[in-house]
């Protein structure tokens, strides 16, 4: 005797077929479920904007489903934001001092130095006051822009003046190195103390003056995943740090003018 399938039974069979065709909650060949999209938030020094934007794009291409968002700014300000609870997964600083502040709050996971930068002088392409060397910054009437002393590029600039026994009175102290560069590009100052990488990224909109190594100041850039990170972002934050330290990440930094640690 043949049994007739009832309407509810037929509906369940159809639903099962539809779920099978669409994949439903199926797992991959490894048995794990498909990963959800992940956003990683990176707080990074202003001087890293060009190189880290390129690194972020390459990291996303290598990790489908991952989005890297950046908060670029002065390292001291970023460190304060992190210690006050701002949501961040990775911190890349332009100085060890600012990373130490985050480490002291027990928020940084095993910081590692990933790049070294040095100072340079930027002047307008069309100079109204001649500046050709480091010593020229101390001449009367020369308008010099530097970063604020609490910012790594400002601390480095003041160390540069001190070790070379130069009496330089800046005409303006800016919040970060990009602001100093902008002052030079607009012709509002005669010179600005920036990083070598900033002169390179300016692509001819300023004239760069090299400071000989024996007179120059360098700064080391540490990076760390943060304990404020959680869930899938935590593992991805570690992966991002590893990528920055990898040959691929290092090549981007070298192309930008940084030196390997």
Q: How many other CB atoms are found less than 10 A from the CB of residue 218? A: 13
Best CATH choice for the domain 38-116+220-255 from the list 3.40.190.10, 3.40.50.300, 3.20.10.10, 3.40.47.10 = 3.40.190.10
Residue given tokens 């669409």 in the structure block: 22
For residue 227, what are the CA distances in angstroms to 39, 88, 166, 218, 242? 16, 9, 42, 29, 16
Given this chain, do its domains 38-116+220-255 and 117-218 carry the same CATH topology? yes
Is 117-218 in CATH node 3.40.190.10? yes
Where exactly are the structural domains of the chain? 38-116+220-255, 117-218
Give 193's Cβ-side CA count (13 Å radius). 37
For the chain, 261 residues long, give each residue's pLDDT as a single digit of tens. 444 444 434 333 333 333 344 433 333 322 323 346 999 999 999 999 999 999 999 999 999 999 999 999 999 999 999 999 999 999 999 999 999 999 999 999 999 999 999 999 999 999 999 999 999 999 999 999 999 999 999 999 999 999 999 999 999 999 999 999 999 999 999 999 999 999 999 999 999 999 999 999 999 999 999 998 877 889 999 999 999 999 999 999 999 999 999
In what helix (H) or strand (E) does residue 52 lie, and over which residues does it extend? helix 49-62
DSSP 30-50: TSPPPPPPEEEEEEEEGGGHH
């Amino acid at each position: 005797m043949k049994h007739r399938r009832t309407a509810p039974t037929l509906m369940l069979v159809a639903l099962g077929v539809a779920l099978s065709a669409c994949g439903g909650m199926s797992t991959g060949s490894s048995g794990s479920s498909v990963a959800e999209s992940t956003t990683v938030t990176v707080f990074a020094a202003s001087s890293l904007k060009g190189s880290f934007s390129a690194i972020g794009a390459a990291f996303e291409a290598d990790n489908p489903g991952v989005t890297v968002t950046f908060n670029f700014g002065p390292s001291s300000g970023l460190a304060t934001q992190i210690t006050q609870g701002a949501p961040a997964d990775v911190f890349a600083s332009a100085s060890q001092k600012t990373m130490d502040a985050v480490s002291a709050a027990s928020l940084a996971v095993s910081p590692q130095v990933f790049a070294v930068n040095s100072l340079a002088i930027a002047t307008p392409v069309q100079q109204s006051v001649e500046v050709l060397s480091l010593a020229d910054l101390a001449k009367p009437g020369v308008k010099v822009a530097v970063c604020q002393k609490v910012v790594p590029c400002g601390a480095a600039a003041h160390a540069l003046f001190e070790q070379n026994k130069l009496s330089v009175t800046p005409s303006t102290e800016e919040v970060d190195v990009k602001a100093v560069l902008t002052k030079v590009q607009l012709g509002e100052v005669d010179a600005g103390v920036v990083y070598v990488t900033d002169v390179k990224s300016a692509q001819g909109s300023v004239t760069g003056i090299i400071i000989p190594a024996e007179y120059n100041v360098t700064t080391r850039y540490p990076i760390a995943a943060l304990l404020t990170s959680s869930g899938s972002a935590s593992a991805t934050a570690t992966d991002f740090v590893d990528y920055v330290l990898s040959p691929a990440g290092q090549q981007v930094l070298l192309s930008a003018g940084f030196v390997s640690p």
